[in-house]
Amino acid sequence: MVQKPVAKVVKTPVAKKKKKPAIKKKKNGFKKFWKLGIEEYNTQDFDVGPDAELIVKEGNFQYNIFDIVKKYGTSTEIMFPTVIENRVRDLIETFNAYIKVLGYKGKFFYHYAMKVNQNKEFVLPAVAEGANLEVSSANELYLVKRMIEKDKFNAKIRVICNGPKTEKYISLIEELKSKGLIVIPIIEDETELERLTKFKGEVGIRVNLDIKVQSHWDKKFNRYGFTEEELLRIGKIKNLSVLHYHISKQIENVQGIIKPLKRALSLYNQLREKNPGLDTLDIGGGAGVPFEKKKHFYTGKSLIAQIVKTAKRECDKLGTKHPNLIVEWGSYVAAPAQITIYKIIAEKTVGNKGNMKWYVIDGSFMNDLIDTWAIHQKWHVIPVNHMNSRKLEKVWLAGASCDSDDKYTAGGTYIMLPRLSETDELYIAVMDTGAYQDSLASHHCLLSSPAKLIAQNGEIKIARRRELPEDVGKLFGW
């Protein structure tokens, strides 16, 4: 029969080679299943290794995440400075490319919003790629002062100062200004307007645009800045060079950024009548990150193209000078630069939910990933090992604190993870944790914060070791 010789052929080396594509296809299948290797999802550097373990690439270096957590333990954050560098570089290059191609006359300035992540390992790579800074408090500005004192910055770096201007904050602004730094306070209310008439440099002013967009933030209660009418009534503002607004974070579609931009350009045009020195529009933060890896999400490139096109078209229509453009995108740059790894330490059945399980992690959502709880953030969660498992379980995740709110239910649905009984041990990675979670972190039930590792140039450095009981006790006066 025909079949027999074919079966024999399979044993020859040539036939073995033929089998290879099948294995490769399977592997790519798992890569696809966990939504890795996809640029729109910011997972282009993630892959499934030959042992079904999570791999993160940095150029031609690569990190086996399972090996790393076996060595350093969990809970652990792993931060990739290269991601910050690449995202800042791409962002600046893309803006400049569209400015050139479209014949836009203003300049572009990127300001890294420090409040998104103030860790040195986040800020310095951004600065190294040409980021300016945006600070939201005197304490953040104090970090800038320390960097200047160490001669870390060239004199051209620009710092935008948002947030309530206490006297301490204003005197630090004045001190840094007198040292030659370009530091631009943004006026947010009447008191600051009055106080900053004494300031000797450029100032900006913040408008609270009367506009709603799809995002995480309830705009009804926005308390920052002046209304459009108030600004037009004030008229002339001493040394005004920047008009600033910040609509929200995690804006869900491009129109949510373009609509306020149009409105602000019209205001910019009107304010220029009495303030000819006004030459810059700062559109704040808000560019989103595809946390969920589900819906189609806009890319940075398409967003930037729309911003420059809109600015040019509207200004030409109004017959006004093209403003310099500032963006203060924080999450966009920082979120994809970090992952948080936990070990699954127990499994429990979910009360009356039939086939659902709780997986308990060796860390805490309430402490380490507080947006899970605060704004119902949805995360992309993947296994770190056993990535080729076909026996999956529908699970909710529970934190190890004593609090019933310490959980992640993916918004009431579930996530899929390998069945625990099929694994010797299971680790998971929560992706895109680089924005906001660090400075909001807490110590409920006195759990230790995750260790923080930096992965760069193929090497792992410990930026913050895991807290010992005595470290945590100290925080509470023991």
Ligand X SMILES: *Cc1c(COP(=O)(O)O)cnc(C)c1O
Q: Which residues bind ligand X (CB under 6 A)?
A: 113, 115-116, 134, 136, 162, 246, 249, 284-287, 328-332, 435
Least distance to ligand X, CB of residue 446, Å: 29
- Residue number, 134 or 393, with CB nearest to ligand X: 134
Q: Which is nearer to ligand X, 94 or 136 (CB)?
A: 136
Toward ligand X, which CB reaches closer, 116 or 420? 116
Burial 298-321 (b: 16+ CB within 10 A, else e): bebeebbbbbbebbbebbeeeebe
Under DSSP, the state recorded for 207 is B
Return the bridge partners of 76, or none.
341, 451
CB of 156 to ligand X, least distance (A): 21
What is the nearest approach in angstroms of ligand X to the Cβ of residue 181?
Answer: 19
- Using the minimum distance from each CB to ligand X, give the nearer residue, 242 or 387: 242
CB of 115 to ligand X, least distance (A): 5
User: Whole-number minimum distance, CB 93 to ligand X, in Å?
Assistant: 19
Residue (228 or 328) nearer to ligand X, CB? 328
Which residues, other chains included, contact 10 with Cβ-Cβ below 8 Å and sequence gap of 6+? Answer: 16, 19
Return the structure tokens found at 445: 């039930």
| Position of minimal CB gap to ligand X | 285
How far is residue 258's CA from residue 243's CA, in Å, rounded to a whole number? 16
Could you tell me the smallest distance in angstroms from the CB atom of residue 56 to ligand X? Answer: 23
Number of CB atoms found within 10 A of residue 64's CB: 17
Name the residue nearer to ligand X (CB basis): 219 or 394. 219
**CA–CA distance, 292 with 411 (Å, rounded to integer):** 11
**How near is the Cβ of 124 to ligand X at its closest, in Å?**
18
Q: Is the dihedral of CA 364, 368, 369, 373 positive or negative?
A: positive
Residues 6+ apart with CB under 8 A from 381: 397, 408, 410, 415, 417, 428, 429, 430, 431
Residue 79 or 447 having the CB closest to ligand X: 79
Residue 103, both tokens: 């014949």
Least Å distance, CB 109 to ligand X, is: 13
**231 Cβ neighbours under 8 A, 6+ residues apart:** 205, 207, 267, 271
Provide the minimum distance between the beta carbon of 330 and ligand X in the complex, in angstroms, as a whole number.
Answer: 3
Cβ at position 394, least distance to ligand X in Å:
32
At 263, the amino acid letter reads R
Contact of 202 with 241, CB cutoff 8 Å: yes
Q: Pull the structure tokens for residue 181.
A: 């730094």
Would you say 331 or 372 has its CB closer to ligand X? Answer: 331
Which residues, other chains included, contact 344 with Cβ-Cβ below 8 Å and sequence gap of 6+? Answer: 359, 360, 361, 362, 417, 420, 425, 426, 427, 428
| Strand-strand pairing, 381-383 and 427-430 | antiparallel
Give CA separation, 62 vs 56, 186, 285, 399, in Å. 6, 43, 31, 30
Q: Which is nearer to ligand X, 249 or 407 (CB)?
A: 249
Structure tokens at 41: 């999802």
Residue closer to ligand X by CB (options 143, 392) is 143
